[in-house]
């Protein structure tokens, strides 16, 4: 049989930011928990290379168990081909010892640290020069790393990425201070730093540090202005609007969204218009202007319908799918007190979400449980909350809301 490269495993590794060695290390951690640390067979980067190349099409059972747990999908969905009918049915792994009371906390901290280390290694942030002459190629490579960082946010949440983002910000800022470059490179570098500051703002948001989130978002706007990049400015204004809304400053959020909607990007790019109109709808709902909120929702939907799927979106805007529009619609209905409509829109968002967007799945699942609880439907809320798995989602904001739901259900 001809060797065929395992592109499905390769894509999963890229989605989660794993290098060959990083994946091998994570597999050893999982197999150690399942089969015992003393097992003599250890996974190495050579094993992973053979899986990716197609040289090995059905790995050892212990590795398959680890891969299925890690990527949350069956082995065949990762591109592996069973040797025969019987081999496709993996034997059940040994029962893991019962966790202690503190095990979930230790596990979350370990996962967070592992994810951050793996992403940092995958991005190779140390390769960005911090002295000498900086070229457009250097800035383009930096942009590519920032795009990949944004992709990880949707998969694993922002909390484990905060240290990576801030470390890379330090390196890019050092490059801006020490390197020499021309005016074109200078503007591109400011724009790249603005984008990274926006990513750091969302990571800080997930970590529950709203002060740091505001600082990074303000810096993002400043850098976007220095870079004379209107798209980066529109992104920064959008982030500042949602930050003001979360802080209870709804009229400030309203003014920010209205100002951002006057930009050329909002007039010409339907993606920006859809996002900003959704933000505007939420703000209108919070200040009690229901007709204006409804008009903004219609405008957001109309803008989203105008998006040309063949036109590539900026990586950070990849989350703005029909599912996200439904989710933002639900938030607007919730702010207006239309809880049943909010529940319907949240359910639709969860139905439309792609499987790889685990952070969004967790976010809207918690939102659904909250809405069911607010309507007195404790049975459905309990079922929804019990099905939410935040093990691999690094967001203190989401896990904190889920803990509140569980506490309320326990007291009910």
Task: Summarize the confidence of residues 261-273 as an average pLDDT.
Answer: 85
pLDDT surpasses 60 at 94: no
Q: What are phi and psi of 36, to 5 degrees?
A: 105, 140
Distance of CA 265 to the CA centre of its chain: 24
What is this structure's pTM?
0.66
- 367 or 40: which carries more pLDDT confidence? 367
User: What percent of the chain is helix, strand and coil (3-state, nearest 5)?
Assistant: 70, 0, 30
CB 360 within 8 A of CB 353: yes
CB 51 within 8 A of CB 6: yes
- 397 or 156: which carries more pLDDT confidence? 397
pLDDT surpasses 70 at 137: yes
Percent with pLDDT over 90 in the chain: 36
Distance CA 134, CA 221 (A): 23
Vertex 96 angle, CA 92 and 102, to 5°: 150
- 99 or 76: which carries more pLDDT confidence? 76
- 366 or 75: which carries more pLDDT confidence? 366
The Cα diameter of the chain in Å comes to: 67
Query: Rounded to the nearest 10 degrees, what angle do helices 136-156 and 358-374 cross at?
Result: 40
CB 204 within 8 A of CB 158: yes
Q: pLDDT band at 84, cuts 50/70/90?
A: low
Return the bridge partners of 180, or none: 133
Q: pLDDT band at 103, cuts 50/70/90?
A: very low
Of the listed ranges 9-23, 319-333, 334-348, the one predicted with least confidence: 9-23
Q: pLDDT band at 344, cuts 50/70/90?
A: very high
Distance CA 383, CA 385 (A): 6
Task: Summarize the confidence of residues 144-169 as an average pLDDT.
Answer: 76
Distance CA 411, CA 180 (A): 62
How many of the other CB atoms lie within 10 Å of CB of 129? 16
CB 409 within 8 A of CB 385: yes
The H-or-E segment that residue 66 falls in is: helix 61-71
221-226: long-range contacts at Cβ-Cβ below 8 A with a sequence spacing of 24 or more? 221/194, 222/194, 223/190, 223/191, 223/193, 223/194, 223/197, 224/190, 224/191, 224/194, 226/187, 226/190
Vertex 334 angle, CA 328 and 340, to 5°: 105
Q: pLDDT band at 165, cuts 50/70/90?
A: confident
* Average pLDDT of the chain to the nearest whole number: 83
The top-scoring range by mean pLDDT among 16-30, 72-86, 225-239 is 225-239
Residue 125 is predicted with a pLDDT of 62
Task: Summarize the confidence of residues 159-174 as an average pLDDT.
Answer: 82
Q: Say whether domain 7-78 belongs to CATH 1.10.260.
A: yes
- 292 or 391: which carries more pLDDT confidence? 292
Task: Summarize the confidence of residues 140-164 as an average pLDDT.
Answer: 76
Q: Judging by beta carbons within 10 Å of its beta carbon (0-12, 13-18, 19+), is residue 15 exposed, middle or buried?
A: middle
CB 158 within 8 A of CB 363: no
Domain ranges of the chain: 7-78, 103-228
pLDDT digits (tens, 9 = 90+) for 219-254: 999 999 999 998 899 889 889 988 898 888 999 999
Residue 123 is predicted with a pLDDT of 59
Residue 90 is predicted with a pLDDT of 60
CB 359 within 8 A of CB 160: no
Q: pLDDT band at 112, cuts 50/70/90?
A: very low
Q: pLDDT band at 8, cuts 50/70/90?
A: confident
Helices (H), ranges, 289-338: 290-305, 322-336
Residue 366 is predicted with a pLDDT of 95
Instruction: Say which residue the tokens 């070229």 belong to.
Output: 135
């Amino acid at each position: 049989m001809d060797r065929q490269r395992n592109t499905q495993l390769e894509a999963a590794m890229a989605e989660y930011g794993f290098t060959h060695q990083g994946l091998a290390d994570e597999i050893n951690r999982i197999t150690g928990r399942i089969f015992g640390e003393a097992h003599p067979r250890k996974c190495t980067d050579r094993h992973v290379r053979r899986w990716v190349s197609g040289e090995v099409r059905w790995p050892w059972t212990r590795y398959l168990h680890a891969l299925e747990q890690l990527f949350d999908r069956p082995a065949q969905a990762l591109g592996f081909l069973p040797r025969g009918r019987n081999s496709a049915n993996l034997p059940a792994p040994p029962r893991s010892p019962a966790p202690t009371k503190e095990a979930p906390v230790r596990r979350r901290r370990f996962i967070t640290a592992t994810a951050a280390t793996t992403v940092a290694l995958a991005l190779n942030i140390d390769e960005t020069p911090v002295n000498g002459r900086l070229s457009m190629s250097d800035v383009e490579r930096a942009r590519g790393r920032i795009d990949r960082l944004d992709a990880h946010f949707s998969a694993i949440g922002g909390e484990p990425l905060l240290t990576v983002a801030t470390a890379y910000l330090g390196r890019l800022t050092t490059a801006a201070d020490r390197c020499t470059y021309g005016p074109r490179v200078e503007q591109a570098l400011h724009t790249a730093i603005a984008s990274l500051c926006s990513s750091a703002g969302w990571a800080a948001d997930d970590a529950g540090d709203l002060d740091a989130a505001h600082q990074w978002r303000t810096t993002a706007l400043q850098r976007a202005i220095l870079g004379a990049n209107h798209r980066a400015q529109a992104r920064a204004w959008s982030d500042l609007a949602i930050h003001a809304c979360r802080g209870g400053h709804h009229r400030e959020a309203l003014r920010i969204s209205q100002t951002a909607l006057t930009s050329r990007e909002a007039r010409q790019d339907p993606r920006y218009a859809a996002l900003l109109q959704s933000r505007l709808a939420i703000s209108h709902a919070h200040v009690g202007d229901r007709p204006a909120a409804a008009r903004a929702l219609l405008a957001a939907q109309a803008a989203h319908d105008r998006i040309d799927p063949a036109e590539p979106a900026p990586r950070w805007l990849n989350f703005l799918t029909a599912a996200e529009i439904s989710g933002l619609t639900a938030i607007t209905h919730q702010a207006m007190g239309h809880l049943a409509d909010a529940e319907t829109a949240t359910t639709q968002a969860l139905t439309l979400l792609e499987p790889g967007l685990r952070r969004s799945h967790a976010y809207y699942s918690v939102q659904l449980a909250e809405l069911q609880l607010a309507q007195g439907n404790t049975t459905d809320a309990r079922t929804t909350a019990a099905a939410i798995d935040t093990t691999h989602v690094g967001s203190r904001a989401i896990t904190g809301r889920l803990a509140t739901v569980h506490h309320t259900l326990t007291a009910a």
